[in-house]
Amino acid sequence: MKLLIRYLKKQGQSYATEEVTVTGDTLQIGRGTNQHILLPDPRVALEHAKLVAYQDGCKIVTASGKDVLFNRLMVKNCAISIGDVIELSGHKITLLAGENGCDFVVQVKLSTAKQEPIQNRYQVKFSDLKLYKRSWSWIFFLLVFFACLLIPISGVISPSWMETLRESPLPDDKQWLAGELIKPHKFIGDDCSQCHQKAFQPTTNEACLTCHKTIKQHVPEVNVTEDFVAVEQCTSCHKEHNSRETLSEYSQQVCVDCHVEASLDKLEQHEYGSATDFEQHHPSFSISMLKPVLENKVTTGWDSERLLLNNVDLKEQSNLEFSHQLHMDPKGIKSATGEVQLACVDCHVPALNGLEMKLITMEDNCQSCHQLTFDPDDPKRVVPHGSPADVVLMMREYYAFRFIYQNLNNDVDNPIVKAGDLYSVRKVRRPGRDERLRKNFEQSLNSQTVAAIEKLTKQTVRTEALVWAESRANQAAIDIFERQACAVCHVMTKNEDDEVPWQVEPVALTKKWLPKADFTHHGHQTMACVDCHEADKSDLSSDVLIPDIENCQQCHGGLESKNLIPNTCIDCHDFHQAKDHFFRQLTHANQHIKSLEPITNAH
């Protein structure tokens, strides 16, 4: 069988014809190049269908899953006769009667209708979205570059422009703030240049010292030895913008770096032991104790002495006689108002948040029991707690006045006498007693004194008065200075050559025992005083009742301590604690700054 395939291809208005003759009864239809009827269209399968010719007609058989349009229906197989048309993806295949010796003519009319691809009608590609990485990258880069860098930098170059930026909604250098300032620095606000004075230069000490004029340096210049590397920059330790409450929550490594070795305080001629950890490696406490400066065995002043607490011979020399044990007797102690039980706080009152104790004074703390009475007839009458000369003078005046009063006995109703009746002594006076004792009192004055008084006065009455008063005062003074009130607590000396022979040795109580550490009683209120200070067992005022480090170590441990309160160096020690040495400034050059310092450490 012979079959003619005629391709009709559109050329302008007409069709060009191309003919191929095939011998055989089957024509393969498809996109593949091995096909008889070649339809160059991706919609057509490689082997789409086949046309089988018979004597009286043809049959179309499609490949699996394919179909053709025949007679307006999709069909898999169909028989076609001459004049029938089948359609494949718009390409028309018509069966015509044979000619020129061929049994059939198969006319193929290729569709040239170019429809716009469906994907062009929709946005189906990513590129259709027009998201361009490059342009977005430029936009983002320039946005951040201008907002975060260029505009703030322009403000750094021109401070007045920075002010304008800060007042406007434009970006300024506030965004560069690496972390919040600590609370005390908040007042600086957004004025970075207060501390950051020059671009690309670290904050200088001068910037800090503008405000912190009185800060003292850790080690006085006189102490600096050749191998000592001083911490010279404030910022070496104090780091701002770290979102902390303080600038000094630092590792004790900063301290340990130097204090791993013993250090010598040249000024006080005291060597500090090495310390690396409160629990594991810390020397015994050193106290600053007052010591009397003696001249001819008389105290002329006080000196502070640094001593180690673990010294067993440690004795305080305060010139005060006092027994804690006696005063703390749980059964009570005699007072003017009967038996009282004293508590520590009755005398030791914390001051400055417990950093110190208020000064103990005779008037505030002792006198309610230790009344300075001198005349048994007049128990309410006391001498002032002052110099012996004042005491003697007061007693002389008292007895002189009393003599006059006694001689006014007959005129007790006289209004003038009544007006001057200030002394209760008149009522408690026991009649006859004075007469009886007079001779005894007068014997206390030597004959020269009496003679001198008599010569001085010439008048019997005056003589009598003076002798009486002087003798009583003298006797009372001997009693009070040598036997009763003063000698109970004070160290007394006597020099017969002096006008007032008695002298009280000056008393000084050490106010701050541990000036190099900040111990606060305030934080230890849960403890009883005697837990640390063994006052109830101390009979002598020379006993030093400051506990040593072992006492603290019962509760306080080192930084790494697990079952004790972990403590670092600066929990107790103040880095800037020094006597007079201001940071990086020699004292002699800074007298004016020194005068600003309100508190001096009492050593």
Partner 1 sequence: MEQFLSYANGRYLKVSLFLSVFLSIIYVMHEPGQPKNGGTWFGYTLGTISAVLIIWLMYFGRRKRDYFSTLGTVKGWLSAHVYLGSSLLILATLHTGFQFGLNVHTLAYALMCIAIFSGFYGAWTYVYLPIKKRENLKTISAEEYYLSIEDVDRQIIKLAKDLPESLSLMINSAIERTEIGGNLLEQLSAEDKSCLIYKDELYANVDQSGCIHLLVEELSKVTEQQRAVQLKQIIDLFGRRKKSLKILRYHIKTNVLLKLWLNIHVPVSFALLAALMAHILSVFIYW
Residues near partner 1 (CB under 8 A): 42-43, 69, 72-74, 87, 89-90, 115, 117-119, 122-126, 128-129, 131, 133, 136-145, 148-149, 152-153, 156, 173, 175-180, 192, 196, 199-203, 237, 239, 242-244, 249-251, 253-254
* Region for residue 544 given its phi and psi (left: phi exceeds 0; alpha: psi -120 to 50; beta: otherwise): beta
Burial of 479 per CB tally in 10 Å (0-12, 13-18, 19+):
middle
Q: Could you tell me where the beta strands, DSSP code E, fall in 229-367? A: 263-265, 270-272, 286-295, 298-308, 333-335, 338-340, 350-351, 356-357
Q: How far is the CB of 293 from partner 1 (least distance, A)?
A: 43
Alpha-carbon torsion, ordered 73, 75, 77, 79, to 10 deg? 10
Q: How far is the CB of 182 from partner 1 (least distance, A)?
A: 11
The residues near 123 (Cβ < 8 Å, ≥ 6 apart) are: 129
CB 369 within 8 A of CB 335: yes
Closest CA to 466 of 477, 478, 456: 456
Number of helices (H) and strands (E) in the chain: give both, helices first.
20, 24
Nearer to partner 1, 177 or 461 (CB): 177
Nearer to partner 1, 47 or 434 (CB): 47
Nearer to partner 1, 74 or 451 (CB): 74
Residues in the chain: 603
Q: How far is the CB of 18 from partner 1 (least distance, A)?
A: 25
DSSP letters spanning 294-324: EETTEEEEEEEEEEETT-TT-----SB---H
Q: How far is the CB of 257 from partner 1 (least distance, A)?
A: 8
Nearer to partner 1, 117 or 169 (CB): 117
Q: How far is the CB of 283 from partner 1 (least distance, A)?
A: 23
Closest CA to 575 of 252, 229, 239, 271: 252
Taking the C-alpha atoms of residue 22 and residue 87, their distance in angstroms, rounded to an integer, is 21
Q: How far is the CB of 77 from partner 1 (least distance, A)?
A: 14
Nearer to partner 1, 121 or 588 (CB): 121
Nearer to partner 1, 180 or 550 (CB): 180
Q: How far is the CB of 213 from partner 1 (least distance, A)?
A: 24
- Pair of tokens at residue 413: 């109703």
DSSP label at residue 362: I
Nearer to partner 1, 139 or 222 (CB): 139
Q: How far is the CB of 504 from partner 1 (least distance, A)?
A: 54
Nearer to partner 1, 52 or 254 (CB): 254
Closest CA to 78 of 98, 57, 55, 64: 57
Taking the C-alpha atoms of residue 362 and residue 364, their distance in angstroms, rounded to an integer, is 6
Nearer to partner 1, 59 or 244 (CB): 244
Q: How far is the CB of 564 from partner 1 (least distance, A)?
A: 20
Closest CA to 312 of 61, 548, 66, 16: 548
